[in-house]
Amino acid sequence: MRFDWLARMRIRCRKIRRRGSLLSCPIQRLEERALLAAFTVDTTDDTPDSDLTDNLALDANGKVSLRAAIQQANALAGADTITLPAGTFSLSLMNSGFSENLAASGDLDILDGVSLIGAGATETIIDGLNQDRVFDILSGVTASIAGVKIVGGTSFSFENGGGIRNAGMLTLDNVAFVGNFASGGGGAIASTGANSSLTITDTLFEFNNSNGSLGGGAIFNSSLATITRSMLRYNAALANGGAIVNAGGGSVALDQSTIKFNDAGSTAKGGGIYNNAILTVKYSTISNNGAESGGGIANVNFSGMTSASLLLATLSTNSVTNQGGGIFSGSGTSMLISDSTIAKNSAVAEGGGIYRQLQVQLTMGGSILATNVAGTIGADLYGPMNSNGNNLIGSTLGGSGFLTNDLQNVDSFLGPLQNNGGPTFTHALLSGSPAINGNTATTSTPDDQRLMSRPVGTSADIGAFEVQPTVVSLPPSSTDVTITLGGPDIVVTDDNGTIILTVPFNPAVPLVINGTSGDDNVTIDFSNGNPIPSSGATFNGGGGSGDQLVLTNGTFDSVTHVFFNSSSGQITMQVGTTISVLNYQAVTSAIIDLLTVTNRTYQFGATADNATLNDNTNVGDGVSKLSSVSTSTPVEFSAPSASLTIVTKEGDDTLTLSAVDSLFAASVSAIGDIGNDLLDASGFALAVSLQGNVGADTLKGGSGNDDLNGHSEDDSIDGGAGNDSIKGGAGNDVLVGAMGDDAVLGQAGNDSLTGGLGNDLLDGGTGTVDVLIESADANLTLTDTQLLGIGTDTLVGIESASLTGGAGNNTLTATAFSGAGTVTLSGGGGNDTLFGSSSRVNVLNGDQGDDSLRGGSLKDTLFGGAGNDSLSGMADADKLYGEDGNDTLLGGTANDTLDGGNRIDDIDLVVESGNFNFTLTNSLLIGNGTDAVVSVEAARITGGSSANKLDASGFSGNVSLIGGAGNDTLIGGTGNDSLQGDVGSDLLKGRDGNDVLNGGNDTLTSGTDNDTLNGGSGDDLLLGGIGNDALSGYTGNDTLNGGAGADILYGGDGDDNLLGGAGNDTCLGGIGDDTINGQGGNDKLSGDGGADVFIDIADRVEGFAINPLPLWVNAT
């Protein structure tokens, strides 16, 4: 056959891009092959190139088919262009006998650079007929595909990439992948290999599937991939990644794209994206995807670095059967979330919004994480995060790591996921959302997810959506204006009623009112309807220092003022279900709120506020005033008809309720929050409710019947006058009912309860050491169930008590109290009598006056205080401290401490008795126990019915020893002692000091000083010893020996034997037949009555008498 080369050249000229006249078409030579080829396909048949050497891409029928064009492009060096018309190109040429990679059959193998351009993704369709994948881009090849739809691509034998397998550098623009399937990874595309890349723009992926273990219903990627303005929906993987798997070594940058309604396998992760490499998502939405874990994104690390970054992204309505409805972040990964919204996701287990495993670097800032749902815990976040601040967290339960400038546990007020403008769906911020203006201009992005400007005003909104305003700027000359609703417009009039400005009213768009640089007076008048859009309004006061905002002629169910700082805040007005939000900035002079309102609320910010509620300057006008020290704009407000509530929020706040206008009749509540707050209504005439909440708060009620509740931590509450209800809540609280019949409930913690005047209920609650404290100048009687004295108080759950008397002579009695704790009684002034609990440990303080203190059966501590006190420890080992004054200390049984006090001029007396042998020294009293003796100057010890030895020889003070019944031995010390033998044959030894000895049938021996000995009844032996002694035998046949010194001896009744001893003695026999012997010295001897015998006749002097008889003569 003759080769018609001229005809073939004509055909060639028609096929190349650079068309010209036949004469201008060059004859191609080998050295000119560098020119790029351009093929226009003119048949939908799947036919091969008939001659790969002719550079013409003609099939056997002389047509340019897609396959032939690919083959020629592969054969020719350089990046050739293939143009496809509208139509369906079905890849029907299959050869099952062998596998080849030259595009001769099956998939279209691309071996050299090519640009494939279709007529549009809805016009040009390339169908793999479910027999093979459609394109296979080999390593090192640069290819681009645009304006086509790829369907029916299938990879078998666990191969990857049902639509396209890419190992080169592939660019896709305006391409649709529909219904492709991979038995390996990547139902639509698998992009793998070193130095490979994938660039996707304006492309659709839907109904693609992967059945292999690599997953990725639409895309499996381990290359450098970017996806821009694209849609991935309704894709599915049997393994991970319902839409995308980004594997080790790869990176995916998702921009302005949507991933929705994709599903991973029932035991797989990542309904939208499964990432174990580097993932960046911005200006994109991932929604309505499903998986076992990680409904939107699963960030999982196998080896190397796994990180994900979300900027201006929305993750919404994703769901899982296990953990992480929105995001699952596995161990060893990192994730940064900025200015994004994660909402309405759900998990059957933990982490409706985000589930964070251990060793995860999860950082979030300027984002909304709210309205998510978890079946167990962590509705929004499960696990800790690092907050960059300015987040809105709907529920913090299950999460941690939040900062104080994160809005926590608040309603986000999000609209539905819908088209709000921009490339992707978003959640709009509805009117009243705290996310509006919740961010700062410095930490937020310059636009939102919709590519709309942010911030609006001085502060940006939290999350991916920025509310855009309608702006009303006041003319510079108009500083006193009124804003009303006039039909479809917002009307601005000056102070003369002249309209100066109108703007269309759009209820869905925020309204911004910009003041002038002067002092503006802006009145918002509701008389013609509500001029505030549903999306809210903002008044910017401008540059003046005296801007004022007035609200008038409106009726609302509730109005809430939230103060941000000294000149900005937010006012929320609600009637029925309609909510209007008015923000204000730079309003420094005043807010005058004259609206007709049922319930009013004022809420301060998270600072240490010092606020005061008072009447304004016009008494009886129905207007009151709330002001603070530099943390809020002063507000004058009309009285609500039902309630006024003031909330201090975070910080150590002080709120003083001083007064309201005389026409005010609503209930008043003050509520603290986190921080140690002072809520003071002590000068307030109306009933109030004071709620401390978190922190160690101080609450002071007024003269009304108040409700005071500390809630948590250690609070101090004083009810003041009125019949108050006081609750401590958790913590160790100090609760005082004060005047009135109060109900004081300690609740949890170890509380201190004081009823004050009136008949009170004092209930300690569940604590283990609740103490009753009462102070009054009255007689107080305490039992387990009552306190009597200044009313009849009912006691419940009281373990300890502390009662204090007043200036008078009070009796404090706690003998019948048996609580588990200690009883403390303090007498105060006056001569008081204190009776401790019979069965509990007591601490008794006499304080001022001459007091009498008596302990109980346990280890008590008694303090006498000033005055001459009597202290009785009773049973067990007690500690008795006399302190100032001349005190009497009686330890009782067991080993006591008896401390008289260290004042030099005091004379403190220890008293002890019992059928024991007693030994007294300057430091011990042994007998009825072993008592420690400190600073005691005197003692009185009485024996019992047995033969007792009372030995005070080691004691330097004055002692009184009384033997009692039995043959006792009484030994004095070095002081001026008094020894009385009583019944029995006793031995009394005075020892040193001026002693007085009184006996029965006794032997009385004095010491070295001037002693007095009285034998008493019975036949006694009295031995005077050294010193000028006085001896009286009294009744009985006594023997008296004066010893050394000038002694006086009186025999008394009975036949006595008197021996003067050395010294000038005076001896008087008394009644009875006496024997009198003056012995040494110049003595005076007289027999008195009876037949007396004088031994020293020279000293006999009859007729003298001792008249009257001194007191020591008679027995005592």
pLDDT for 996 beyond 80: no
Task: Note whether 883 and 865 are within 8 A (CB).
Answer: yes
HSE-up of residue 101 (Cα within 13 Å, Cβ side): 8
Q: Which two tokens stand for residue 60?
A: 């056997």
User: 67-73, long-range: CB within 8 Å, 24+ apart, which pairs?
Assistant: 67/91, 67/93, 67/103, 67/104, 67/108, 69/39, 69/41, 70/103, 70/108, 70/109, 70/110, 70/114, 71/102, 71/103, 71/104, 72/37, 72/39, 73/37, 73/39, 73/110, 73/112, 73/113, 73/114
CA distance 689 to 724: 10
Q: Is residue 1052 part of a domain?
A: yes
Q: Which two tokens stand for residue 784?
A: 């387990």
The pLDDT of residue 1097 is 65
Q: Is residue 660 part of a domain?
A: no
Question: Is the peptide bond preceding residue 1108 cis, with omega within 30 degrees of 0?
Answer: yes
The pLDDT of residue 30 is 36
φ/ψ of 866, rounded to 5, equals -70, 150
Q: Is residue 712 part of a domain?
A: no
Q: Which two tokens stand for residue 1076?
A: 């009198």
pLDDT for 1 beyond 90: no
Tally of CB atoms within 10 A around 488: 9
Parallel, antiparallel or unpaired: strands 667-672 and 154-155: unpaired
CA distance 258 to 244: 12
Task: Note whether 1044 and 1080 are within 8 A (CB).
Answer: no
Rounded to an integer, what is the distance from CA 955 to the centroid of its chain?
62
Outline where 145-267 has alpha helix (H): none
| Nearest residue to 869 (alpha-carbon basis) of 897, 850, 843 | 850
Q: What angle do CA 463, 467, 469 make, to 5 degrees?
A: 160
pLDDT for 580 beyond 50: yes
User: DSSP letters along 534-591, please?
Assistant: TT-EEEE--S-SS-EEEEES-EEEEEEEEE-SSS-EEEEEEETTEEEEEEEES--SEE
For CA atoms 882, 886, 888, 891, the dihedral sign is: positive
Q: Pick the range with the lowest mean pLDDT from 107-111, 678-682, 776-780, 1110-1114.
A: 1110-1114
CA distance 601 to 562: 8
pLDDT for 34 beyond 60: no
What does R_g of the chain's alpha carbons equal in angstroms? Answer: 53
Coil vs helix vs strand at 1043: coil
Q: Which two tokens stand for residue 23?
A: 């004469």
User: 753: Cβ–Cβ under 8 A, 6 or more apart, which residues?
Assistant: 735, 737, 744, 746, 762, 763, 764, 770, 771, 772, 773, 798
pLDDT tens-digit map of 176-201: 999 999 999 999 999 999 899 999 99
Q: What are the C-alpha distances in Å from 74 to residues 71, 97, 199, 251, 526?
A: 5, 23, 21, 29, 75
HSE-up of residue 1049 (Cα within 13 Å, Cβ side): 40
User: 392: Cβ–Cβ under 8 A, 6 or more apart, which residues?
Assistant: 367, 368, 369, 370, 406, 407, 410, 412, 434, 435, 438, 462, 463
Q: Which two tokens stand for residue 284?
A: 């994109």
Tally of CB atoms within 10 A around 784: 12
pLDDT exceeding 90 applies to what percent of the chain?
67
| Nearest residue to 542 (alpha-carbon basis) of 523, 565, 506, 568 | 568
The pLDDT of residue 1044 is 86
pLDDT for 18 beyond 50: no
The pLDDT of residue 8 is 37
Q: Is residue 703 part of a domain?
A: no
Please name the residue that has the structure tokens 């100090």: 734
Question: Is the peptide bond preceding residue 634 cis, with omega within 30 degrees of 0?
Answer: no
pLDDT confidence bin for 26, thresholds 50/70/90: very low
* Domain region containing 1007: 943-1113
The pLDDT of residue 348 is 98
Q: Which residue has the higher pLDDT, 979 or 501?
A: 501
φ/ψ of 496, rounded to 5, equals -100, 0
Task: Note whether 586 and 604 are within 8 A (CB).
Answer: no
HSE-up of residue 280 (Cα within 13 Å, Cβ side): 11
Tally of CB atoms within 10 A around 667: 15
| Nearest residue to 585 (alpha-carbon basis) of 490, 466, 457 | 457
Q: Pick the range with the lowest mean pLDDT from 83-87, 351-355, 796-800, 838-842.
A: 838-842
Q: Which two tokens stand for residue 314?
A: 């929305």
Task: Note whether 614 and 625 are within 8 A (CB).
Answer: yes
CA distance 330 to 571: 43
pLDDT for 15 beyond 80: no
Mean pLDDT for all residues in the chain: 90
Q: Is residue 980 part of a domain?
A: yes
For CA atoms 974, 977, 983, 985, the dihedral sign is: positive
φ/ψ of 9, rounded to 5, equals -70, -35
The pLDDT of residue 999 is 64
Coil vs helix vs strand at 913: strand
Please name the residue that has the structure tokens 């300015």: 390
Report, as an integer, the average pLDDT of 287-296. 98
Q: Which residue has the higher pLDDT, 1026 or 407?
A: 407
pLDDT for 847 beyond 50: yes
CA distance 593 to 638: 6
Task: Note whether 384 and 356 are within 8 A (CB).
Answer: yes
E-assigned strand segments in 380-479: 381-384, 386-389, 392-393, 399-400, 407-408, 414-418, 426-429, 470-473
Task: Note whether 504 and 470 are within 8 A (CB).
Answer: yes
Q: Which two tokens stand for residue 578?
A: 């309609």
pLDDT tens-digit map of 335-394: 999 999 999 999 999 999 999 999 999 999 999 999 999 999 999 999 999 999 999 999
Coil vs helix vs strand at 479: coil
Q: Pick the range with the lowest mean pLDDT from 130-144, 496-510, 749-763.
A: 496-510
pLDDT tens-digit map of 1097-1116: 667 676 666 667 777 666 54
CA distance 196 to 999: 124
pLDDT for 570 beyond 80: yes
Q: Is residue 744 part of a domain?
A: no
The pLDDT of residue 239 is 98
pLDDT tens-digit map of 513-556: 999 989 999 999 999 999 998 778 899 998 788 899 999 999 99
Report the helix count and the strand count for the chain, using DSSP H and E. Answer: 2, 112
E-assigned strand segments in 192-272: 197-201, 204-206, 209-210, 219-221, 224-228, 231-233, 236-237, 244-246, 251-255, 258-260
The pLDDT of residue 20 is 32
Q: Pick the range with the lowest mean pLDDT from 59-73, 446-460, 673-687.
A: 446-460
pLDDT confidence bin for 1040, thresholds 50/70/90: confident
E-assigned strand segments in 963-1052: 969-971, 978-980, 987-989, 996-998, 1003-1005, 1012-1014, 1021-1023, 1030-1032, 1039-1041, 1048-1050
The pLDDT of residue 456 is 76
The pLDDT of residue 7 is 37
Q: Is residue 1076 part of a domain?
A: yes
pLDDT confidence bin for 101, thresholds 50/70/90: confident
pLDDT for 98 beyond 70: no
Q: Which residue has the higher pLDDT, 62 or 1054?
A: 62
Please name the residue that has the structure tokens 């409710």: 689
The pLDDT of residue 621 is 95
Task: Note whether 450 and 426 are within 8 A (CB).
Answer: yes
pLDDT exceeding 70 applies to what percent of the chain?
93
Tally of structural domains, the chain: 1
pLDDT confidence bin for 479, thresholds 50/70/90: confident
User: 24: Cβ–Cβ under 8 A, 6 or more apart, which residues?
Assistant: none
HSE-up of residue 841 (Cα within 13 Å, Cβ side): 10
pLDDT confidence bin for 1070, thresholds 50/70/90: confident
The pLDDT of residue 35 is 56
Q: What are the C-alpha distances in Å from 1046 to residues 242, 735, 1026, 1080?
A: 125, 73, 9, 10
Task: Note whether 590 and 617 are within 8 A (CB).
Answer: no
Q: Which residue has the higher pLDDT, 1033 or 620?
A: 620
Q: Which two tokens stand for residue 661?
A: 């206008």
Report, as an integer, the average pLDDT of 213-228. 98
Report, as an integer, the average pLDDT of 880-902. 88
pLDDT tens-digit map of 894-946: 898 988 888 776 787 889 989 999 999 999 999 989 989 998 889 899 988 99
Q: Is residue 972 part of a domain?
A: yes
Tally of CB atoms within 10 A around 290: 22
